[in-house]
Amino acid sequence: MALILGIETSCDETAAAVYDDAAGAVRHALASRPASHRPYGGVVPELASRDHAGLLMGLLDELGLARPPDLVACAAGPGLAGCLAAGLGLAQALAYAWRVPLAPVNHLEGHLLSPFLEPPAGFGPPYLAVLASGGHSLLVHVRGRGDYEVLGSSLDDAAGEAFDKTGQLLGLDFPGGAALEKLAATGDPAEAPLAPALRGRPDCMLSFAGLKTAARRLLAAGAKPADVAASFQAAVIETLATKAARALELAGCAWLAVVGGVARNQSLRERFDALGAERGVSVCYPPARWCTDNAAMIAYAGRHRAQQGHAARIRPRWSLAEL
């Protein structure tokens, strides 16, 4: 199988990509309309699915396919039902018209395999993946492609969701993650201290909702927004790093991969680089364009799912355990 078309519409980002077995992700296109959702302080599913329907064909034109692909891969879950339906509906139509197979792909698996799009020397399974995004926060022992053990997950908000919600508290535009990181660089976390969540629990579970609530209280008490941003960011990162350290003890892996949109955060990367040095493990991060939702990771994952026979239907709550 040589040429794979990937489609990603699980949330608010519309993406398409072409992956070639020999050349890797040779072309990719992405469109996002955060301004559509900004007045509402979060993603509005109806608006996002409408945007997907209007943007997808233009992205396919950008890819400039010279011939039909050998496979169409599409994110089928987890995600927002209407958004997933917009992508899968087009993927089914294209696969039918081109008479090629269709591979429904688990969006989380796409993130877990995203380091393979541009892998560092020596990278491969088994490895521990720290997936931190707007919709999910997971610690996963990746034994091999398709062989996953979830060691920890969030009990409430995902890390990226907590960044966005706290950004709103700070008066930042949605999405707030990147803006909060910029504001945090001007603050002093010692002036508004927050403790990492679930630090006393010996397991790998995560929690971020309490940090958001604590940030609100600090602001109400008169703390400077920049100091609260710096403290909140540090607490989220330390929560992830502490639980990742415990997961490394359980998994015993030589590689640690940090994936998902939150993996773009530079302070997080510095902390995980330090964790890798402390534990004697190699740490890698996908390039920024492969951290956020993208179709290249879906195409790559579809390459390994073409023969799995998953039903071509949307699965908004599709877990890794069901693969």
Answer whether 192's CB lies under 8 Å from 231's CB. Answer: yes
**Binding residue per annotation — 265?**
yes
Q: If you search the block for the tokens 């990746």, which residue do you land on?
A: 142
**Binding residue per annotation — 181?**
yes
d(CA 158, CA 209): 8
What DSSP element (H or E) covers 81?
Answer: helix 81-98
Partners of 141 in the β-ladder: 128, 149
**Binding residue per annotation — 304?**
no
**Binding residue per annotation — 135?**
yes
**Binding residue per annotation — 52?**
no
Q: What single DSSP character describes residue 120?
A: P
Q: What is the dihedral of CA 264, 268, 272, 278, to 10 degrees?
A: 160
**Binding residue per annotation — 111?**
yes
**Binding residue per annotation — 42?**
no
CA angle 109, 112, 114 (to 5 degrees): 105
**Binding residue per annotation — 113?**
no
**Binding residue per annotation — 187?**
no
**Binding residue per annotation — 79?**
no
CB-count burial class (<10 Å; 0-12, 13-18, 19+) for 141: buried
Binding residues: 107, 111, 131-135, 164, 177, 181, 265, 293
Binding residues for substrate: 131-135, 164, 177, 181, 265
Binding residues for Fe cation: 107, 111, 293
